[in-house]
Structure formats: C-alpha cells, structure tokens
Amino acid sequence: MIRAAKKSLGSRLLILGHHYQRDEVIRWADFTGDSFKLARKAADSEATEIIFCGVHFMAESADVLTNDEQAVYLPDLNAGCSMADMANIEQVEECWDDIGASVDISTVIPVTYMNSSASLKAFVGRNGGAVCTSSNAAAILEWAFTEGEKVLFFPDQHLGRNTGIAMGYTEADMQVWNPHKNSGGLSSTQIRDAKFLLWKGHCSVHQRFRPEHIDAARADFPNVEVIVHPECSHDVVALANHVGSTERIAAWVDEATSGSIIAVGTEIHMVQRLAKRYPDKHIFTLDPLVCPCSTMFRIDEPHLAWVLEQILADEPVNRIVVDYDTREWATVALQRMLDIT
C-alpha cells in the first residue's frame, strides 16, 4: 500500500523520518534527520503532501515553515512528546506574570527549545526571545544575555543547565521553575538573583542514562568513547567524552576510526541503526534496559499507509494546521534563531 501510494503521488509527496523512528518507518522516508533539519527540508521542498514521521511539535514546526499550498500530516495524532507537554502556554504565561511581579520583565529573555509547541514558539516571538536547538543553544543564550539580564529557558531544564555550565556559569546562577508550585516554588530573591530560570521539564528517555552506566561501560571497555545527548542530566554529561545533538552524534560515530568502541546515550532506534551502518565499529547503548521513545514509537507502517490512502482518496486525515497568528509569531522566533546563528 505504501509503495503503491508513493508511486501514485510521485513528486507531490515527501515523507520525513526522525532519527528516533523504527526501521520499518525509516525505510520509507525520503529524508531522515533531527526535527528542525526535517522541517527545513519540508519548507525547501516543492511537495504539496508532507508526512512527518515524528511527533506533534515537529509536524507543527514543518507547518509553520511551509507555504499555504503545502499540507503537513502526522500519521498518529497521539504521537506527542512528553517533554514538550511539560510546558503549556497557560503555564508559561502565568510564569511570565509571576516573574514580572519580582523583576522588570523587559530584562528577561524567553528561550524555548525546538522541542516545544508552536504556541510556545509564538510566545517567545512576541516577547523578544528566540527558539534554540540542541546544536545552537549556546549561541542563542549568548545572544540572550546581550539583550537582557536573565533567561527563562523551557521546557528542558537539562539542556539549559548543561549549556549554561559549558558557557562558564554555575549552578548558583540557576534556579528551577516548577510550574506546579506558586511562583515556581521560588522566592522573589531567588528570582531576582538567578541568571537562568530553568523550567522543570525533561526527556523521559535521556533521563534514564546514569553515571553508573558510563562507569560500567568503561569498566568493560577501557577505551570506550562515550557520546551523550545534552538532554541528559549534568552528572552524565560531565562524564561523557562528547555531548551533542542527534546530528552531531551521527557525525561523531561516522568520523570515528574503524575498530572504535562507542557507547551512545540517546534513543535506542538511532543507536541500533548506527550499529548496523558501521559494522566495523562496536556501537552500543549506555542503558542496558533499553527504553525507546514511547510516543515516537506510535508511528508505524499501518498508520503511514492509512494516511497515504486517505490522501489518494482526497479525504485527508491527521493534517496539522497552526493558526495564522501563532504561525506568524512562531516564524518570528524561528527566524530570530536563524539570524543569530
């Protein structure tokens, strides 16, 4: 069904597959990559029917960047992101008001990670902030501190903390904002003194990796190179040889010499795919219990086939549409990121 639909739709169709997708889905993808790379592929494409095999915020970003003649679909609308869901627009607006009760809000620059809803991207666009990726977070934060005195960073506290520490800041410069507590669980003094207000959010997959996993890998393989994603907690990042985005992880593995032993701290499907791609290198996951991204795992061949069949029947389903105002301000935030980097 998928093969026939692809043939029938021809150049009208573009299928995008995130690195964390299972192999049965990736084999149908025209392009693979991280979320922002794929969204830009969609924008650069002349295809009118774009199927994003990823999660909801990724399809939203693709819809923001594409034109009105292009339609973006998500094979399963239940494929969300637990991290992105840890910050919603109502919580962030309440947080913004609470911070403003303690400091001059014009001195606070909001920065949202790419792994967030379009409404949060629009929020930072309206309020003088920018979007960041795991690759350019340092550049965006450096810019933010030229524009203001402190940063509100959401939804992933760990990317904010790891990037800030790599820039020379310390834990003393940071406070964690808990959206489920009054004023984030912070006093006015803590809010005033903090350089970083980090949202209490995390990636459930990357939080599985622990320092003892790295210790065990080095005990078994003294020459192992440990590569982890910056969504991991700081005690893990501090022990790793390399820390980078999914694209950077893939590049490091590619650049490693034949015979290298590499332990990777990111989603299992990507790690297994790298291991198959480079049989001359010993590549394995840091987490012995192996936990896939459960929401990304919702995308499968039956859902992909169904969406394609419905497009062919001129009865499309699961189209992702960002409203005009949100799209306009999210574009401002994304363009600001591109201008900075």
pLDDT of residue 173: 98
CATH of the domain at 272: 3.40.50.10800
Number of Cβ within 10 Å of residue 289's Cβ equals: 8
pTM: 0.95
Q: Report the C-alpha gap between 263 and 211 in whole angstroms.
A: 13
CA dihedral 62, 63, 69, 74 (to 10 degrees): 80
Q: Report the C-alpha gap between 94 and 182 in whole angstroms.
A: 10
* Domain that residue 176 falls in: 84-203
CATH of the domain at 155: 3.40.50
Q: Quick one: 199 and 104 in the same domain?
A: yes
Q: Quick one: 101 and 129 in the same domain?
A: yes
pLDDT of residue 288: 85
In a domain, 334, yes or no: no
Confidence of residue 293 (pLDDT cuts 50, 70, 90): confident
CB 141 within 8 A of CB 164: yes
Half-sphere exposure of 197 (CA within 13 A, CB side): 32
pLDDT of residue 149: 98
CA 338 to chain centre: 16
Residue 294 has pLDDT above 90, yes or no: no
Cα distances (Å, whole numbers) of residue 314 to 69, 141, 151, 307, 311: 15, 45, 46, 11, 5
Q: How many domains does the chain have?
A: 3
Confidence of residue 292 (pLDDT cuts 50, 70, 90): confident
CA dihedral over 204, 205, 206, 211, signed as positive or negative: positive
Give me the mean pLDDT over the 200-229 stretch.
Answer: 97
Give me the mean pLDDT over the 7-13 stretch.
Answer: 98
14-63 pLDDT, tens digit per residue, is: 999 999 999 999 999 999 999 999 999 999 999 999 999 999 999 999 99
Encoded tokens for 201 = 């959010």
Mean confidence (pLDDT) of the chain: 97
CB 282 within 8 A of CB 66: no
In a domain, 330, yes or no: no
Percent of the chain exceeding pLDDT 90 equals 97
Residue listed under structure tokens 């340092």: 138
pLDDT of residue 290: 74
